[in-house]
Every structure is written in C-alpha cells, then in structure tokens.
Amino acid sequence: MPRRRKSSDEDKPRKNTIESFFKKSVPKKSRAIIDSDEDDEKPKQKSIDNYFKTPSPKKKSRSEPNNNSHSEKLTPVSAVDFFGSSSVSRKNKTVPAKRKIEEINTELHDDDDFEKTLLQLDVQSKKKVIGNSLASKVSSKMKHIIEDTPEPKEKKPRLQVVVPDTPELKKTHSKKTPDKKLYKMELVKSPSKTPLSQNLSPKKTPEVQSTPDTIKKDSSKKISPSSNSSTSPQDETQVKRGASYRSYLHREGPKALGSKEIPEGADNCLDGLVFVITGVLESLERDEAKSLIEKYSGKVSGSLSKKTDYIVIGRDCGESKLQKVISTMDVLYQSLYNIHVYINSFTIFRPTSPLKEESKMYTTSSSDLSLCPNAKSSSHGRKHCLVMDEVDGMAGNEDRGGLQALVQLIKTTKIPIICMCNDRNHQKMRTLSNYCFDLRFQKPRLEQIKAAMMTMAFKEGLKIPAPALNEIIQSSNHDIRQVIHNISMWTSGDKTISYEQAKKDSQSAKKDLKIGPFDVCRKVFVGGEETAGMTLNDKSDLFFHDYSFAPLFVHENYPHVFPYSASGNPKRHLSLLARTADSICDGDLADRRIRSEQMWSLLPTQAIYASVLPGEFMRGSFPQMVNFPSWLGKNSSQNKTERILQELRTHMRLKVSAEKRSLNMDYLPYLRHGLTEPLVKRDTQGVPDVIRLMDEYDIIKEDFDNILEVTKWPNSKDPMSSLTPSTKAAFTRSYNKEVHLTPYSTGVAVKKRRGAAAVVDEEMMGDGEEAVQDSEEDTDNIDIDTMIKVKKKPTSKAKTTGRSKASKDESASGSKGKGNGKGKGRGKVKS
C-alpha cells in the first residue's frame, strides 16, 4: 500500500497542475490562486463583502430600517479596513507558497524531462491566465450572483448550489441581504481583524476571515507540504499537524471581549439555520456566541456538514474545518466555471419537491450558462453543456411530461444538451431522438478494454498477464467498470494475478447476463467449442432465460440444424429428428401440466425435454439465421378463423344444426361454391340467387367475405377473381339495395342491448300485437322503411317452413335494432 500511495502522490501534483489548467478550477492544491491575488484586489472586495455579509445575520437579527442609512455610510470604511489587514497577511503567505511551486517544478524536473518542460510552459501561461481570469472571474461571478439573485431570505435551509455541500457559498448567492446586515457584520468583525493581522505571520495560522483569497492562500499553504512528497511528505504533515495542535493549545482567548455591543434581533430570525463556529471570536466567548445563536432559534453544530448554513470563522480556526470549506468552495468554483452539471433529470421539473429549488438555482445561475435564450451569452468565452443522464428513466409517473419539457428545453437552449440513456430503443426515447443527434456507444471490444487496463495496471504497478486479463474481461462481458473493480479487488492483497487465479476468480465473478431468445436457441443447438464445456445445468439454464419462449424457438429451428452425430447419413439424421420431435412433444405435455394445473415444479422437467434433449440430439452446425417461431403467428390466425367460424355459426344457427367444426369442414366448402357459382356462371343474372341463398341462411355481406376467406386454400383458386368488376358491383349494389333482416343484431356497438330489447319485444307482444306495433311505427318515418321490408319479406319467401317463419317474426323485431338508433329506443320503451 504505502508504495502505491507514494507513487500516486508523485503523480498527483503533476496531474493536478495540468488539470487545473484545463478546468480553470481551483483544486485543493491551488497554488494558482496566490498569483491571482495581485490583480484582484478590487473585485475581491466584493467577495469579501460577501463573506462578511454571511456571518452577519446570525450574529444580529434584523434591525430597524432606520439603521439602514448608517450602515450604508459605514460600509466602505470597514471594507477598506479589512482590506488593509488582509493584504498584510497575504504578503506573508505568498512567500512560502511560491517557494513550494518552485519545489514542485524541480521535482517534476527530476521526474520526467519532457513533462517538466511541458509543465513549465504551462505553469507560466497558467499564471497569467489565472491571474487574469480565474480570480477576477470568481469575484465578478460573486458579484453577478449577488446582484442577480432576486429574493432575499427565501431559501433558508439546505438549498444546494449544484454541488451538495457548499452551504457557505450558496448562502452568499442566495442571501441577498440588505446592506444593513453588512454593516452589522462589520461591527462584529472589525475589531477582530486588527489583532489578527498582527498575529498572523509568525504563527502561520490561517486567516480569520474566510474571504475567498485567504482561504485559497491557506489551502495552498496546506497542500504544498504534501506535494513535497519527494522529501518525506508524511513527516511534513505530521510536523504540521503537531504545530497546529500546539498553536491550538497556545491560542489566545478573545482579545476584545465585550468591545461590541450585541444587537437585538427579531425572535426566531435564525430559525432553521445551522451554524458552525470555528476559531476564536474576538469579541465573544464561544459559549456566548452559541447561546446567542440559539437564542434566535439557530442551531450550532460541531462540524461542517451538508446541513451547515453558515460558518463563523474566528482567529486560529480549526484547519480541518477551514479545509472543508475550501474544498467545497473549490467544487463550487469548479462547477461554476466548468459546468459539468449532473442533474438527475427527473427531479428538475418536479414542481413541489425541494429539488425544484435546485432547478431554480440552476436556472438562475444559468444566466451564466446562457441556458436561457435571453441570458447573456457566455461573456467569458467558455463553452458549456448540460449533461442529462438516464433520460430513459424519465417519464414515469413521477415526472410526467419530463421528456416533453426536456424537448422544449432542447428547442430553446443555446448550449448543447447531452442526453444519456441505456436503452436507445425504448419507446419513450422516440420523442427525444427526433431532437437529438444519435450517438450510439457500442460495447468496447476486448482489445480496446485490454489496452486501457494494461495501462492502468502498469500505473498501479500490477502484474497481470495478458491471458488473465482476457479472462477477466470476458467474464465480465466487456463491462469496463466491473473489470476495474474486479482487478482492484483481486490485487488488493497481492500485486500479481496468475492466469489460473484469474480464471478461477472470473469464473466465480461471471456477470450474469441475459441472453435473448435467438442466442439461446443458437446455443442450444450449436456444437463446437462454444458449447463444449457446458454442463447439464448450463444447458437447462439456457431454457430458463425465457421458459415460455425457448421451447417455441427450439421447435421452430430444430430441423435447420445439421447434427454432427448423423455425420451426413440421412437415415440417421431423420431418426435424430424424430427423437427430437418426440422429446419436444414430451416438453409440451409438461407444459400443459404446468399451465393448466399450476405445477411449476415441472419446469425443470420441461427444460430437459424441450431444450436440453433436443440440443443433445441435434447438436451440430447451424448454418442459417435463427428463425422467429411461426407458431405465434399461426396461432393467432387460427384464433381469428375460430372467431369467424363462431360468428358464422351464430348467424346460421337457426338453419344449421352443425357445430362450428363440422360447419367449417362440411358446409362452408359447399356454401363457398353455392355463393360464387351463380356469379361466375351467369354474371349479373346470378346475383338474385346468391342473395336469396344468403338471406336463407341469414348471412350478411361480411359473412360472405368471411366464408370466402376461411375456405380459401393455397391449392384453390379464388372464384371472385374471375368475376368482372361490373358483376361484383352489381352484386354489392343489389345487396345493399335491399334490407336484409337477420335474427341477430348486426350493430357492433349497441349489439347487446338491441338483442335483449328485441327478445323482450317478441315475448311481450306476441302475434296479436303486431298491428299495434305497425301503427306505432307510422309515427316514425325511418322505421317505416324497415317495417315495410318486413311485410314484403314474407311474400317473397312464400314457401318457407313454419320454422323459418318464426325466425322472420324474430327478425322483424330484430330489424328495429338493426335499422337505426330510433328503432332501438322504441324497443326499449316497450320493454
């Protein structure tokens, strides 16, 4: 371990410098900031103000408005005051810090010549860049933020500024405090400053006031020892720690106790705010400060956390706390500048959640990001983008309309938005993909991962033989993250992995992947090395990838396989086919039991019969694509035929006694003939015959078409194809001209009620009431038509039997339902 750490330490400073150039961020070891001091005095003033302003509210509650004028007058004075003191401290600091940079540079020289030159160049340029840009930007940004944020007190509790733990700064953003606060703060602080500046240089204690620059200074100072790693970094830090502890023991108490009067605040003005006090406050005892805060319902906690709203920094403050503040600030700066914003996308648009605040925050700061079209476009010349991760997780119940909102955002944005998702083919992505450039990431190939892993292993000083690496990569199914995790885990004890070890480990750490049914099917049958090592369990596991689908695939594809064991002998091949088919049948029997009797314990049995055995019999070459099971399609068309037959039978039931299967096999072939023959032979003369036959069997036009469809076979020709269009037209016309009365209702939508109404009519009225019914119908014009037809019909069908007459009676009442809506209404009234 120690060795590794060292090496990483050596790497880090170098890397960090490079990174810091790119990022323009202020990482922990931000020497750069020191340089920035020189240019930045003016803007910094602002930022300092911020920092003053923040602590102020906790100390003092709101004061009366008339205070305001005072405060405004006083402010500049105090700032100048402060400025003077801080500049002193700065000078003291800069010396060691600069030395350190040089040290690093020399170290780099030793390290690598090329790097050295590179770095030197970079450092120089960076000095300038940062001097000009970063610090000034920080300050100007602060200014922006302060000026921009509109509502003063609104977001008090842990409102995160993009990065979760930056309570301090966020406060400065969000809390747009009136000037009076500033004033008050200064009242408290100013006395502390003077002594502090005097103390400062000898003790090397950090700055009292947490102005951005001081913090930075501090950080640079702190970090530099660690970057001195070439000369035993641990000793250094230890020395340092000891020193700070000593200074802690020796640190002086408050020097100006009671020098300030403590102002009165409104009740509960600090409600919900969390404070951390560090260092010695010059005008207050720690306990006093604490009780003061608690008096106004604030909370004082011992250590910095996400929940902390304010940190009160006194003289000789705790370094760890300060560092924490610094680091969080670093992240903040980084995020402001670099804008690598990670937002879990679905929270953005949730209206009531606390995270909405975040999104608001985000959009307010987005004036900088120029996310909004009217925002000033990146004045500082940087490019930003917004990364939306897991957009496919959007649009659940949680965030309805999230995708639409995102699309809306994409339409108006001025910065690129990068959306990421796992499942590109997901239905939800269809909307989004119309607005995005489609960039697909394939799973990297083995060699690609391997190269990267080798580099990593080399850097970490690991010895992993190439075949072992192959093994590891394959077992994790080319999942880079898992490869890295696995390697780091397996090398935690020993720096080398042998091939055997890797193989063993990766076998046990095999990623459990889901194979699609096509691959399953191929694996079931294909011979050769791919499946050579599979145990019985492995084979039956294939079935369980999708146990309802796998048997279908196996059945569909087994005849396509050329089994090795047949060795080209057709007789043997056929007998293997027969045995396979037999085994599949067994699987089907098991399936039936499973499904009908819920005997799920039979699944393994089915696995053997439906998948393993066929695979064993037929194992061989699989020269073609795996086919999708046709059973599914055939089954649904069988169901359709069945439905048609059922309907036909219901329609013809009064005449035909056959159940639907014999209707299908016996009647329909002849009906097909009988319905088309007259048309084929006699053209338009045949039309009346056909229509009469249809009426006789209560077949409607749809049934006619259905019959032709059901009775159509590949070996039979379509009689309708030989008809001239005029015959067809004549048939349709004359069919539509007449009203066809059926004993069943033909309307689909209101079918049920009509049928019932008709029945009731029939039963209640009897024959004698027919006349009454007719007279009633005279009032209803449209109904007259249908009823006239009814009267006609008996005459046209003079020679019908008693039974068919009965059906006609029925059809009379049924027709009302069929004819139109009014008929139905009346029928209901009667019932």
Partner 1 sequence: MSLWVDKHRPNLLNKLDYHKDQATHLKKLVHGGDFPHLLVYGPSGAGKKTRIMCLLRELYGSGVEKLRIEQHHFTTPSNKKLEISTISSNYHIEVNPSDVGNNDRVVIQELIKNVAQVNQLETSCQKDFKVVVLTEVDRLTKDAQHALRRTMEKYMATCRIILCCNSTSKVIPAIQSRCLGVRVAAPAVEEICKILQNVCKKEGLTLPTELAERIAKKSNRNLRRALLTCEACKVQQYPFSGDQDITEPDWELYLRETAALIVQQQTPKRLLEVRGRLYELLTHCIPPDIIMKGLVQELISNCDGELKIEVVQSAAYYEHRLQMGQKAIYHLEAFVAKFMAIYKRFLEDGIADLF
Q: Which is nearer to partner 1, 208 or 577 (CB)?
A: 577
- Exactly one of 99, 443, 463, 692 binds partner 1 (CB under 8 A); which one? 692
Q: Smallest distance from the beta carbon of 663 to partner 1, in angstroms?
A: 10
Tell me which residues in 302-341 interact with partner 1 (CB under 8 A). none
Residue 716 CB-density burial (10 A; 0-12 exposed, 13-18 middle, 19+ buried): exposed
Does 669 interact with partner 1 (rule: CB under 8 A)? yes
Q: Which is nearer to partner 1, 336 or 524 (CB)?
A: 524
- Exactly one of 238, 637, 736, 796 binds partner 1 (CB under 8 A); which one? 637
Does 660 interact with partner 1 (rule: CB under 8 A)? yes
Q: Smallest distance from the beta carbon of 688 to partner 1, in angstroms?
A: 11
Does 352 interact with partner 1 (rule: CB under 8 A)? no
List CB contacts of 218: < 8 A, sequence separation 6 or more: 93, 206, 207, 319, 322, 323, 326
- Answer for the pair 219, 29: CB distance below 8 angstroms, yes or no: yes
Opening angle at CA 137, ends 132 and 142, nearest 5: 150
Tell me which residues in 612-631 interact with partner 1 (CB under 8 A). 630-631
- Exactly one of 673, 682, 733, 791 binds partner 1 (CB under 8 A); which one? 673
The one-letter amino acid at 432: L
Does 575 interact with partner 1 (rule: CB under 8 A)? yes
User: Judged by CB under 8 A, which stretch of 86-94, 99-107, 130-138, 709-717 contacts partner 1?
Assistant: 709-717
Q: E strand or H helix at 694, and its extent? A: helix 687-696
Total number of residues shown for the chain? 831
DSSP secondary structure string for all residues of 56-80: HHHHS----TTHHHHHHHHHHHHHH
Determine the Cα–Cα distance for residues 731 and 736; give it in Å rounded to an integer.
Answer: 9
| Binding track over 804-823 against partner 1, x by CB under 8 A | --xx-xx-------------
User: Judged by CB under 8 A, which stretch of 35-43, 105-113, 458-466, 640-648 contacts partner 1?
Assistant: 640-648
Q: What count of Cα atoms within 13 Å lies in the side-chain half-sphere of residue 88?
A: 18
Determine the Cα–Cα distance for residues 584 and 611; give it in Å rounded to an integer.
Answer: 8
Does 653 interact with partner 1 (rule: CB under 8 A)? yes
- Rounded-to-10 torsion of CA 287, 293, 294, 297: 180
Residue 129's CB is within 10 A of a number of other CB atoms, namely: 16
Q: E strand or H helix at 796, and its extent? A: helix 781-796
Q: E strand or H helix at 620, and its extent? A: strand 620-621
Residue 280 per-residue DSSP state: B
Determine the Cα–Cα distance for residues 814 and 761; give it in Å rounded to an integer.
Answer: 9
For residue 419, the cross-strand partners are: 388
Q: Smallest distance from the beta carbon of 544 to partner 1, in angstroms?
A: 19
For residue 386, the cross-strand partners are: 341, 417
Tell me which residues in 65-104 interact with partner 1 (CB under 8 A). none
Tell me which residues in 269-288 interact with partner 1 (CB under 8 A). none
Q: Smallest distance from the beta carbon of 724 to partner 1, in angstroms?
A: 21
Tell me which residues in 367-426 interact with partner 1 (CB under 8 A). none
- Answer for the pair 312, 278: CB distance below 8 angstroms, yes or no: yes
- Exactly one of 689, 738, 774, 776 binds partner 1 (CB under 8 A); which one? 689
Q: Smallest distance from the beta carbon of 338 to partner 1, in angstroms?
A: 58
- Exactly one of 38, 696, 705, 778 binds partner 1 (CB under 8 A); which one? 696
- Exactly one of 72, 111, 546, 642 binds partner 1 (CB under 8 A); which one? 642
- Answer for the pair 800, 789: CB distance below 8 angstroms, yes or no: no
Tell me which residues in 583-602 interact with partner 1 (CB under 8 A). 584-585, 588-589, 591-592, 595
User: Judged by CB under 8 A, which stretch of 171-179, 202-210, 514-522, 572-580 contacts partner 1?
Assistant: 572-580
3-state helix, strand, coil in the chain (%, to 5): 65, 5, 30
Q: Smallest distance from the beta carbon of 805 to partner 1, in angstroms?
A: 8
Determine the Cα–Cα distance for residues 328 and 342; give it in Å rounded to an integer.
Answer: 16
Q: Which is nearer to partner 1, 243 or 750 (CB)?
A: 750
Q: E strand or H helix at 703, and its extent? A: helix 701-710
- Rounded-to-10 torsion of CA 376, 379, 380, 386: 40
Tell me which residues in 501-560 interact with partner 1 (CB under 8 A). 555, 559-560
Q: 387 — phi, psi (to 5°)?
A: -105, 120
Q: E strand or H helix at 310, and its extent? A: strand 310-313
For residue 34, give the nearest of 126, 117, 115, 118 by alpha carbon. Answer: 126
Opening angle at CA 544, ends 540 and 549, nearest 5: 115
Q: Smallest distance from the beta carbon of 522 to partner 1, in angstroms?
A: 17
Determine the Cα–Cα distance for residues 325 and 430; give it in Å rounded to an integer.
Answer: 44
Q: Smallest distance from the beta carbon of 572 to partner 1, in angstroms?
A: 9
Q: Which is nearer to partner 1, 75 or 745 (CB)?
A: 745
Does 603 interact with partner 1 (rule: CB under 8 A)? no
Q: Smallest distance from the beta carbon of 567 to partner 1, in angstroms?
A: 15
- Exactly one of 80, 385, 466, 574 binds partner 1 (CB under 8 A); which one? 574
Q: Smallest distance from the beta carbon of 726 to partner 1, in angstroms?
A: 24
User: Judged by CB under 8 A, which stretch of 23-31, 334-342, 739-747, 781-789 contacts partner 1?
Assistant: 739-747
DSSP secondary structure string for all residues of 364-412: HHHHHHT-STTSPP-TT----EEEEE-GGG-SSSTTTTHHHHHHHHHHH
Q: Smallest distance from the beta carbon of 552 to partner 1, in angstroms?
A: 9
- Exactly one of 268, 422, 662, 726 binds partner 1 (CB under 8 A); which one? 662
For residue 342, the cross-strand partners are: 387
Distances (CA, A) of 377 to 135, 138, 358, 414, 628: 20, 18, 22, 8, 54
Q: Which is nearer to partner 1, 96 or 719 (CB)?
A: 719
Q: Which is nearer to partner 1, 27 or 614 (CB)?
A: 614
Does 450 interact with partner 1 (rule: CB under 8 A)? no
- Exactly one of 91, 634, 791, 792 binds partner 1 (CB under 8 A); which one? 634
Q: What count of Cα atoms within 13 Å lies in the side-chain half-sphere of residue 416?
A: 10
Q: Tokens for 711?
A: 């009775």
- Exactly one of 127, 655, 728, 789 binds partner 1 (CB under 8 A); which one? 655
User: Judged by CB under 8 A, which stretch of 88-96, 514-522, 638-646, 768-776 contacts partner 1?
Assistant: 638-646
- Exactly one of 427, 715, 779, 795 binds partner 1 (CB under 8 A); which one? 715
* Total site size for partner 1, rule CB under 8 A: 76
Does 687 interact with partner 1 (rule: CB under 8 A)? no
Q: Which is nearer to partner 1, 261 or 767 (CB)?
A: 767
Tell me which residues in 741-800 interact with partner 1 (CB under 8 A). 743-745, 751-752, 755-756, 759, 762
Q: Smallest distance from the beta carbon of 804 to partner 1, in angstroms?
A: 8
- Answer for the pair 365, 375: CB distance below 8 angstroms, yes or no: no
For residue 760, give the nearest of 802, 710, 796, 814 by alpha carbon. Answer: 814
Q: Smallest distance from the beta carbon of 352 to partner 1, in angstroms?
A: 36
User: Judged by CB under 8 A, which stretch of 16-24, 166-174, 443-451, 566-574 contacts partner 1?
Assistant: 566-574
Q: Tokens for 133?
A: 């840009």
Q: Smallest distance from the beta carbon of 701 to partner 1, in angstroms?
A: 19
Does 657 interact with partner 1 (rule: CB under 8 A)? yes
- Exactly one of 320, 344, 412, 646 binds partner 1 (CB under 8 A); which one? 646
